[in-house]
Structure 1
Amino acid sequence: METRRRTLVKAIAWNLLGFVVMTLVGMAMTGSATIGGTIAIINTMIGLSCYFIHERIWAHIRWGRVHG
């Protein structure tokens, strides 16, 4: 099983990458760094929460695990 701390660190690392990508996409779509950054912040907050919950649920599901 994965610790909550590991899940949180993975979620943060993934969302930092997503934040950068979303900022660039938002800037490209709107032409505004402020709007692009705002979109990225909102997306990152929602994504981080959803990813953390998703990982914690899957940490308790035994299906598909190989123990060796």
Structure 2
Amino acid sequence: MSKRYLPAAEMPAVRKKMLADTIDRLLFWLERSRQRRRLGRLSNHMLKDIGLTRADIEFEMLKRPWEG
């Protein structure tokens, strides 16, 4: 017996919420990755202005998106 997949309009509310939460979490992780890459492109002088070192940024860039 094959599974029947329902269109979003017919999905139970709980499943819609779970799907929305999952998408939100993925988008959050994507944005976190982008921010880390942007930090990596800052000059040492700019990092100093915001109180960070190159080592701080290298450590941050090694983290996976889901690691805070």
Same-fold call, TM cutoff 0.5: no
Q: TM-score, normalised by structure 1?
A: 0.39
Query: Which structure is higher in helix share?
Result: 1
Larger-Rg structure = 2
Q: TM-score, normalised by structure 2?
A: 0.39
